[in-house]
Amino acid sequence: MPLVRIDIRKHKDPTFAKRVGQHVFAALQSAMNVPDHDLFQVLAEHDAEHMIYDPQYLGIHRTDGIIFVQITLSEGRTVEQKKSLYQTLAKSLEHDLHVRQEDVFINLVEVKKENWSFGNGIAQYATS
């Protein structure tokens, strides 16, 4: 049930953001057992004035090719699953889309299951 937000600088390839999203979904399936059809993503491209980042924070040298991936998901994944997600995604983006691993910024936001409504005004995963 992840909701994924992907933010990139405007790219010359109009399919680039969608292809990043495909890699994110594949990594979620591989590392966190996200089921088929559980695909909800918001893809956004920004001009230089609207993508602000520190190019050297924590000694990681970032470029304007930075990709922000924020994933909101239900709590309960292990640290090992999270680390696997980070590695799987960074490596696949580097291998297939030539994105530097240093430019892959991932943030997980964990929420309780009752914090989701997938439609119809119903909390489908609420237990009470």
**Within a domain: residue 61?**
yes
Tally of domains in the chain = 1
Classify residue 70: in a domain, yes or no.
yes
β strands within the chain, DSSP E: 3-9, 41-46, 67-74, 104-111
Mean pLDDT for 42-56 is 97
**What's the confidence (pLDDT) of residue 1?**
79
Does the structure show a pLDDT above 80 at 116? yes
Banded pLDDT at 98 (limits 50, 70, 90): very high
Residue-number span of the structural domain to which 10 is assigned:
3-115
What pLDDT does 83 receive?
98
Cβ–Cβ under 8 Å, residues 71 and 28? yes
Contact 45, 10 (CB under 8 A): yes
Decide if 128 is inside a domain: no
Active site residues: 2
> What CATH code is carried by the domain that includes residue 48?
3.30.429.10
Q: Is there a domain that residue 72 lies in?
A: yes
pLDDT (mean) for 96-109: 98
Residue 126 covered by a domain: no
- Give percent of the chain above pLDDT 70: 99
Q: With bands split at pLDDT 50, 70 and 90, how would you rate the model's confidence at 126?
A: confident
